[in-house]
Chain A
């Protein structure tokens, strides 16, 4: 029984797919590697970055980032390498250009639109009801007068 448990634990560990760990001599380089792989999107499983993805393409791209970092390329050069091949889509933070303008402005516009709607509703509510007929107005004045007496 005990043996079976041990075997089970050992076996279940080996089931986990592992992400290849790269060795860095320089911790600063490792930090940049982390940053870059978290910012780059995996094109196969599009809602994952290449740091998290188990897809083979992500594995290749991680290897490429590692290779380019060790070659001494800057972050900007590595990002350029990726966008030259896969386009801006590979970036989780697309650059601000005429094509991506709506992407960047839409959240602000939505908030502004909501604020405007809110303001419009409030204003409507505060506005006095002005469509009273003359008889109604007369009756109000009468009531107010009676109260103050």
Chain B
């Protein structure tokens, strides 16, 4: 009986520490969810004379994938993202974050280009507005131009199938 209280306290502590172990401190909830996507106008990677702005995607559900040739995890997710993009269910725009356009183009020609187009954000200004802090990051934007989901870190088949795909399908059903 006299050990019951310390034992109880110990068990509670262990449960809390256990939960703490499962949490990922790197995953910071984005305040941008449910807000209009921040606007920018930046040159396209493969056509620098043409600018791209998120406004152009209005009326469509689309993904913005933040990537860079120097980013190791981007290589890791590339195959899964490419496979997903190939299904044609949603258009993926790449935001080439703090990268040299030459390196970025080489990276794409080597590994394949899953993007509708990529945007060159050499100084990371758009990245800052989008709250990017850990490349790769993937945003889901609805037809009205509102950010509905953000994935920090590489996407994998489970996330794509269980989170992104159902969300895209629901959003596709919404009126623009």
* Size of the chain B interface, CB-CB below 8 angstroms: 15
Contacts of B129 in A (CB 8 A): 85
One of A57, A84, A87 near B28 (C-beta < 8 A): A87
**Is A46 on the interface with B (CB-CB < 8 A)?**
yes
Determine the distance from Cα of A44 to Cα of B26 in the docked complex, in whole angstroms.
8
Interface residues of B in 24-46 (CB under 8 A from A): 25-26, 28-32
Closest B-chain residue to A64, C-beta based?
B128
One of A44, A46, A86, A88 near B131 (C-beta < 8 A): A86
Say whether A86 contacts B25, CB under 8 Å. Answer: no
A20 to chain B, nearest CB (A): 14
Determine the distance from Cα of A57 to Cα of B130 in the docked complex, in whole angstroms.
13
Number of A-B contacts (CB under 8 A): 34
One of B29, B32, B98, B124 near A85 (C-beta < 8 A): B32
Say whether B31 contacts A56, CB under 8 Å. Answer: no
One of A43, A57, A64, A83 near B31 (C-beta < 8 A): A83
Contact with A along B74-112 (1 / 0, CB 8 A): 000000000000000000000000100000000000000
Interface residues of A in 73-126 (CB under 8 A from B): 83-89
One of A44, A64, A88 near B133 (C-beta < 8 A): A44
B13 to chain A, nearest CB (A): 12
Determine the distance from Cα of A60 to Cα of B131 in the docked complex, in whole angstroms.
12
Chain A interface mostly helix, strand, loop or mixed?
Answer: helix
Closest A-chain residue to B98, C-beta based?
A56
Contacts of A60 in B (CB 8 A): 124, 128
Contacts of A89 in B (CB 8 A): 28-29
One of B25, B31, B98 near A84 (C-beta < 8 A): B31
Which one of B28, B124, B133, B134 has the greatest number of beta carbons of chain A within 10 Å? B133
Say whether A43 contacts B128, CB under 8 Å. Answer: no
Q: Can you identify 10 A-B contacts, CB atoms within 8 angstroms?
A: A43-B28, A61-B128, A84-B31, A85-B128, A85-B131, A86-B31, A86-B133, A87-B28, A87-B30, A87-B31
Counting from the closest, the 8 A-B pairs by CB-CB distance are A43-B133, A85-B131, A87-B31, A89-B28, A86-B131, A57-B133, A60-B124, A87-B29
List the interface of chain A (C-beta within 8 A of B): 43-44, 46, 56-57, 60-61, 64, 83-89
List the interface of chain B (C-beta within 8 A of A): 25-26, 28-32, 98, 124, 128-131, 133-134
